[in-house]
Amino acid sequence: MTPAAYPHEVPSTGEAAVQAAALQTSLPRLETARLILRAPRIEDFALFGAILMSDRAVHMGGPLDRRAAWLDFCQCVAGWHLRGHGLWTIEARDGGAVLGFIPTCFEEGDREPELGWFIDQAAEGRGIAFEAAQAVKAWALDTLALPALVSYIDPPNGRSIRLAERLGAWRDDVAAAEIDDDILVYRHAPDDADGGMEAYA
C-alpha cells in the first residue's frame, strides 16, 4: 500500500484513470514464452522503488532515496512520449506478477539509448532478465531501427557483464572513455552495423 505521505504515487480515478489506461494500451507490448513486456503503470513503482532504494541498487548508483527513485521512474516512463521508447515492465504470463523492469531509456547524462535490466530478487536465477532483454533488444534494433543500444555496467557487477555478453554485446572502451565515470559500456548493435555514438551526434 502506498503511504499517505506519497499521494502522487496513488493511481488516478474516474475519467483520468480511463485516459491513463488508454495511453498505456497504445504503447507496444511484447510476449515471450514466459513473460509479458508492457507499458509501466503507476502501481509498478512499488517494486521499481523498492529495488532502487535497496542495497541491490549499488551497481546502479544507489541506493536511491524515494524522491530520486520516483524521478527516475518518471523520467524513464516519459521516454515513451518524448522518444518512442522507455521503461518496460516485466510481467509473468502465468499469474501476472511484476518481476522487474527493462529500461530502453535515454536519460539525462546518457549519450545513447540504454538497454538495462533489474529484476525482483525473488525472480532472479531463472533467466528472466535474459529472456526479457533479448526480446526488447530485438524490438529496439529491428522494429525501431535504432543504430545501437548500450548497457552501462559497474565494473564489479560480473553478473550483468555476463548477461550483456550473452546478449551479444561487446565492450566499447572508446565510448566508456568519453564518460566521466568509472563505468563499462557494452554495445548492442544490429548484426550488419557497427552502431556507435556518431549516430547521435
21 within a domain of the structure (yes/no)? no
Per the model's pLDDT, the better-predicted residue between 196 and 161 turns out to be: 161
> CA 85 to CA 106: how far, in whole Å?
8
> CA 140 to CA 142: how far, in whole Å?
6
2 within a domain of the structure (yes/no)? no
pLDDT value at residue 190: 87
14 within a domain of the structure (yes/no)? no
Asked whether the CA dihedral 35, 39, 42, 46 is positive or negative, the reply is positive
138 within a domain of the structure (yes/no)? yes
Q: 3-state SS of the chain: helix, strand, coil percent to 5?
A: 45, 20, 40
pLDDT digits 0-9 by tens, 38-70: 999 999 999 999 999 988 776 666 699 999 999
| Range of the structural domain that residue 44 is part of | 26-200
Quick one: which of 125, 80, 68 has its CA closest to 100?
A: 125
**CATH number for position 193:** 3.40.630.30
1 within a domain of the structure (yes/no)? no
Confidence of residue 4 (pLDDT cuts 50, 70, 90): low
Per the model's pLDDT, the better-predicted residue between 192 and 157 turns out to be: 157
pLDDT digits 0-9 by tens, 94-126: 999 999 999 999 998 889 999 999 999 999 999
161 within a domain of the structure (yes/no)? yes
To the nearest 10 degrees (0 to 180), the angle between helices 45-52 and 66-83 is: 120
> CA 164 to CA 130: how far, in whole Å?
9
6 within a domain of the structure (yes/no)? no
Count the domains in the chain.
Answer: 1
135 within a domain of the structure (yes/no)? yes
